[in-house]
Structure 1
Amino acid sequence: MLIGFQNLTFEFGARVIVEDATWHIQPGDRIGLIGYNGTGKSTLLKLLVGEYTPSKGNVEKGKDTTIGYLHQDLLSFDTNDSITEVALGAFERVRQLEKEIETLGHELEKDPENEPLLLKYTDSLHEMDVLDGYNIHHKAEEVLHGLGFGNEDLVRPYKEFSGGWRMRVLLAKMILQQPDVLLLDEPTNHLDLPSIEWLEKYLLHYQGSVVIVSHDKIFLNRMVNKIVELYQRQLHIYSGDYNFYEQEKTIRIEMQQKAFENQQDYIRQQERFIERFKAKASKAAQAQSVQKRLDKLEKIEDVQLERPDLRINFQLEKVPGKILVTLKDVSKSFGKLNIVSHTGAEIDRGDKIALIGANGKGKSTVLRMIAGTEPFTGERVWGHNVEESFYAQHQLEALTLSNNILEELQQCGSQKTDMELRSLLGAFLFGGDDVEKKIKVLSGGEKARVALAKTIVSKANFLILDEPTNHLDMHSVELLAEALNKYEGSYILVSHDRYFISKTANKIWEIVDHEIKEFKGGYDEWVAWNERMAKKKQEQEPPKAVEQPVVIAQAPAKPSPDKEQQKELQKQQRKLSNLESALNKAKEDKQKLEEALGNPTNYTDHQKFLALETEYKKMTAHFESLNKEYEVLFEKLLDMEG
């Protein structure tokens, strides 16, 4: 074990965050730490690194375990050093050795016969070699490039960069330190799609263990082999990716519900028996015995899936014309940085557009141009009856800090009553007295939800949304996607959340060579189209080396493809037949266990019930695994026989 909790309880004032939790992080673990907004995921990370002290229990840590912790509070760090220098801070010992070697070199020039000095110099060179110290600049540049920095950025002072880019530099430094455990709190919030993909590839080969707090489903599915859910003050551990967790959680809840109902049936039967026979002398002792058994029975809790609901209903007052906005021959640059050049685009009624691409390509700039908050050359023409509402991260700064949440929404001019506004804020997870909280005491995520609520309360028929899912948990992201699907207006959004884009967009915009390119179709279609184009391009490229006929002539003779194919076909058919037998056997075993679970008497013995439940889970997983294997093999055989 590298680090973990043993029977840990942590209270934040009067509120219990986690109770009697045991969780050990092992070498090779890739853990997704999930939970609804405000349940305390970031608090758990702070407990792991010792920023908070548990109320009860212990945080256990291996003696030599090193930890890297990426979180929002790091943004208070500032320096005039270049970003490469900041990243190279990861190699503390190597930087020290560089200085030592330089000093010793100067001293040896003056006194070349000094043996102790020469020995020290040789030792330092050897240690430098062992630490691969001569490659640190190359390693730092490679990681910074991967996270989206260009060559010209590497020498720029750290303080010139905005918060999101600073966070990337600190992530690069942390990756280069190669700690035993990496704790990453919402790392994808500050990354564009190419950088997320780079980070995925990098972390897949990372030697240490990784704990990730993230609301990006696709990222978690690719990255993790375990899910730890903070739910109702308990830690629930699932061995698998996010999709596995969703399926397994549903099964767990269904099984517990079934067990609860069966036990309730059993209790009712026994109570009827007691009621009926307690007055009869011949049966009174038996009735008392049944009563004692009932009193000792370990009750199974009723279980209902508890989760906050984001109930968003958009109200449109005006229907716009066919064309909402047209950009004609628009250009925009910042000094030498060219964003778009003599390009055009049109947004029609019913368009639900995702503007995607790497950071620095100008996605947010284009949104501001559409919204009219960014000057540019060219023309922007509004259509008839268009009422837009613009949500962007900078609107968090536009919130009035002295207002409480309700007052902030009252000042939107939406004409809604306080009751309606309270109901809307409830949809954004601000229930009861929460609406009285001052804006200045809210977390980043809470401020983002207030700003998003302000956008939605506006009755606009055209929404411009810049990273609306930042600071929302996964469930809220799903509910926002559902709400946008029901929205009768049009929108354009920028998001790095691939799941969210795939659920909301019917068109994709991309800035390519300073032009806005439109793809008529959803995100999954766009990805598939890009893959086809890349494959086509590869096929059209001339082969790198000309094949030598001599080599082919000298190659040893191989068995004819027909015979080989036949052999392979027979082998796979045998395998399929064995799988069918195993599947039938597993199905029978599963049915027997289901019957046992349906028998109320098995709920009187808690240990027996737990053993049955564990066996049923194992058998279900085994059955599903065999089924998947069977489907894959069946498809393969169809291809071979075709």
Structure 2
Amino acid sequence: MISINNLSFLIGSRALYDEADWHIKPGDKVGLIGANGTGKSTLLKLIVGDYTPTSGSISMAKDLRIGYLNQDLLSIDSHHSILHVAMEAFERQNKLHDEIEELLKVIETDYSEDVLNKLAEKQHEFDALDGYNIEYRAHEVLAGLGFSDEDQLRPLNTFSGGWRMRVMLAKILLQDPDILLLDEPTNHMDLPSIKWLETYLGSFEGAIVIVSHDRYFLDRIINKTVESRKGKLTVYAGNYTYYLEEKALRSEIQRGEYKNQQAKIKQEERLIERFKAKASKAKMAQSRMKALEKLDRVEDVDDDNPTVNFSFKFSKPSGRHVVRLENVSKSYPNINILENAEAIIEKGDKIALIGANGKGKSTLLRIIAGTEPFSGKSEHGHNVTETFFAQHQLESLHLDNSILEELQAFAPKHTDTELRGILGCFLFTGDDVFKKIKVLSGGEKSRVALAKSLTTDSNFLILDEPTNHLDIQSVNILIQALQQYEGTFITVSHDRYFLDNIANKIWFIEGEKIKEYPGTYAEFEEWDAKRVKPAPKPIPVKQEESKPKAITTPAPNVQQQLKKLNDQLKKVEEEISVFEINVKKLEAELAREEVFSDPKKLEEVNLQYLTEKELLNAAQNGWEELASEIMTLEG
């Protein structure tokens, strides 16, 4: 499919790639990994022809269709609706549609056989290309990526860069290319959209190359891992978890070979030193010396997993209650976030605040930090000192400071060695620490701001998307740092590996209330998959019948209780029959051309379908509860 042979690429005098080889085969699902600065994004640009190799070759079939998502697409602008932009993917279908429209106009006055034949040919090709379903397909993909029906009719230029990137991803997916090259596709995505994309890519029949720092995302999609390191590309025949295990095994073997070779070299050097002064042995010593010089040396294993090597200090521990929220309400035009919500953060809580974008996660963090107006009460406890990390905190960096000076001014209690240690963890090594803030990229500034947050004297951290712009190694460092941190924190992130390794409580906003799950993210996921989600509308029957509940107060006798439960069960079975009929009717309605070809009708019918489906699910779960209670009483 794509063959990379002896690829070298120089930036100035630095060789980003040095005679690297890699062959991408049909059906490969590849995670391209490596530390920041090792050339992952550059390699994708080399493949698509944006850059030219210094030497070597990249070859592929001329008709190979490549879908390439990169961060440059953030700046794309258009006054067209995002549905229109996504549908630009169907280039041939759109052209045929325009030609058919023109021919239909012509046929109003010209009934010639030639015009009729042309129209028939165009319509046949349009139908063969599934042209009548392209709007529905675009709508489906955009919905999966988090766009509501209303959003899809808004112009692209009214969305932020992150949301525009999702539109570009939708367009690329709809093009159905032979190979997808995806550079950090989950940046700017919330968890529901990431999970949808995982499902979509899991069924994608072409090849995929993904650059991502989200190891859970990689594990669920890829079947090969390619590491970009020291100018070479090393292939591992498995997902990211397999790569870690296999690399550890290879490193252990290499470390053993290195030690054995070093022992042999020292032995040879001792022999040479002993015999080189003796005339009878000088020739032998010279021969051994030449052999030693020609020896193919085994390199020692580099430590690719730096660890946090400084202690976290805060002068005052907080009291038991860190933050108490009471009767908190917050809304924006056309959307309610919270209404009379309550919550409490206690000392030692490590909270992950999760949910879809637009549900108020960052708003809630700002309310806790005291930077967002709201109604209600937010009260900090005794001795609570906080630090708030968010992307806009980059603006508070002092541009004329060097990186090291920025941390020295913020954390005077830490030694320069400690500060350089944490900066090294976030990829600022050697003379990098003397770079001025003003010359750094956005991602580098983000890492500096995060390093500052971790050297704080605060006993309460508020972290909004701290894993953005971090590679996998830096995410691991952040995990280690937060695991060692003895204070309290609340964080928003879409990196599930990160969340699963740092949180002991999960918060989510549902029904305009703050809900809490007391456990890890993995435990929450398992619990959330089993629970019944609130229906968008109440079931249109009496409340006690809408979702039957098991009777917990003893009845005068079991027979009366059983009769009551069986009567309720019968009513619920009747409701289920009605809901099942309604769902089937609406499924048939959604399949009708006059519905799915009309966006307004499609939106109306789809909403009805989702509502009936929720009602059916709720009734079925209620039936199961009743049946379980009946079996217990009969048992």
Contact 2:178 2:207 (8 Å CA) reproduced: yes
The alpha-carbon distance between structure 1 residues 109 and 140, as it changes in their structure 2 partners (threshold 3 A), is same
Moved more, 414-423 or 238-247: 414-423
User: 1:214 aligns to what?
Assistant: 212
User: 1:240 aligns to what?
Assistant: 238
User: 1:437 aligns to what?
Assistant: 435
Is 1:448 matched up with 2:446?
yes
Cα distance, 1:377 vs structure 2: 1.1
Is 1:202 matched up with 2:200?
yes
SS at match of 1:347: strand
Contact 2:425 2:474 (8 Å CA) reproduced: no
Cα distance, 1:276 vs structure 2: 6.7
Contact 1:414 1:459 (8 Å CA) reproduced: no
The CA distance in 1 between the partners of 2:472 and 2:329, in whole Å, is 37
Contact 1:67 1:183 (8 Å CA) reproduced: yes
User: 1:476 aligns to what?
Assistant: 474
Identity %: 57
The CA distance in 1 between the partners of 2:364 and 2:381, in whole Å, is 18
Question: Which of 252, 255, 264 is equivalent to 2:253?
Answer: 255
Question: Which of 127, 150, 153 is equivalent to 2:151?
Answer: 153
User: 1:298 aligns to what?
Assistant: 296
The CA distance in 2 between the partners of 1:4 and 1:391, in whole Å, is 44
User: 2:317 aligns to what?
Assistant: 319
The CA distance in 1 between the partners of 2:304 and 2:441, in whole Å, is 23
Moved more, 285-294 or 347-356: 285-294
Moved more, 286-295 or 467-476: 286-295
Cα distance, 1:252 vs structure 2: 0.9
User: 1:177 aligns to what?
Assistant: 175
> Is there any run of 5+ residues in structure 1 with no aligned partner, and where?
547-642
Question: Aligned AA for 2:238?
Answer: G
SS at match of 1:154: helix
SS at match of 1:188: coil
User: 1:520 aligns to what?
Assistant: 518
SS at match of 2:509: strand
Question: Aligned AA for 1:171?
Answer: L
After the TM superposition, which residues 47-446 of structure 1 pair with which residues of structure 2 at under 5 Å, given as runs? 47-112=46-111, 114-269=112-267, 297-307=295-305, 309=307, 311=309, 313-401=311-399, 403-409=401-407, 412=410, 421-446=419-444
Cα distance, 1:77 vs structure 2: 1.0
The CA distance in 1 between the partners of 2:489 and 2:432, in whole Å, is 30
SS at match of 1:189: coil
Contact 2:3 2:60 (8 Å CA) reproduced: yes
Deviations along 1:414-460, whole A, 9 cap, x unmatched?
57676765554334322233233333432232121012123223311
Contact 2:179 2:207 (8 Å CA) reproduced: yes
Cα distance, 1:89 vs structure 2: 1.1
The alpha-carbon distance between structure 1 residues 413 and 300, as it changes in their structure 2 partners (threshold 3 A), is closer
Cα distance, 1:37 vs structure 2: 1.9
SS at match of 1:21: strand
Q: How many pairs were matched up?
A: 543
The alpha-carbon distance between structure 1 residues 402 and 276, as it changes in their structure 2 partners (threshold 3 A), is closer
SS at match of 1:110: coil
Contact 1:331 1:339 (8 Å CA) reproduced: yes
User: 1:572 aligns to what?
Assistant: none
Deviations along 1:149-179, whole A, 9 cap, x unmatched?
1111111111221222111111111110111
User: 2:42 aligns to what?
Assistant: 43
The alpha-carbon distance between structure 1 residues 52 and 311, as it changes in their structure 2 partners (threshold 3 A), is farther
Contact 1:68 1:182 (8 Å CA) reproduced: yes
The CA distance in 2 between the partners of 1:284 and 1:38, in whole Å, is 49
Deviations along 1:445-478, whole A, 9 cap, x unmatched?
2121012123223311110001101111111111
Deviations along 1:342-386, whole A, 9 cap, x unmatched?
111011111110001111111111111111111111111111111
The alpha-carbon distance between structure 1 residues 451 and 294, as it changes in their structure 2 partners (threshold 3 A), is closer
Question: Aligned AA for 2:300?
Answer: D
SS at match of 1:331: strand
Normalization by structure 2: what TM-score? 0.80
The CA distance in 1 between the partners of 2:505 and 2:201, in whole Å, is 31
The CA distance in 2 between the partners of 1:47 and 1:431, in whole Å, is 27
Question: Aligned AA for 2:213?
Answer: H
Moved more, 490-499 or 403-412: 403-412
Deviations along 1:364-415, whole A, 9 cap, x unmatched?
1111111111111111111111111111122234445555434544564757
The CA distance in 2 between the partners of 1:191 and 1:250, in whole Å, is 31
> Is there any run of 5+ residues in structure 2 with no aligned partner, and where?
534-546, 550-568, 579-635
Cα distance, 1:530 vs structure 2: 2.3
Deviations along 1:183-239, whole A, 9 cap, x unmatched?
111111211111111101100111211111111111111111111111122211111
Contact 1:353 1:509 (8 Å CA) reproduced: yes
The CA distance in 2 between the partners of 1:485 and 1:307, in whole Å, is 16
The alpha-carbon distance between structure 1 residues 538 and 414, as it changes in their structure 2 partners (threshold 3 A), is farther
Contact 2:310 2:421 (8 Å CA) reproduced: no
| CA RMSD, Structure 1 to Structure 2 (Å) | 2.9
SS at match of 2:153: coil
Question: Aligned AA for 1:37?
Answer: N
SS at match of 2:327: strand
The CA distance in 1 between the partners of 2:15 and 2:306, in whole Å, is 18
Cα distance, 1:23 vs structure 2: 1.0
Cα distance, 1:143 vs structure 2: 0.4
Is 1:14 matched up with 2:18?
no
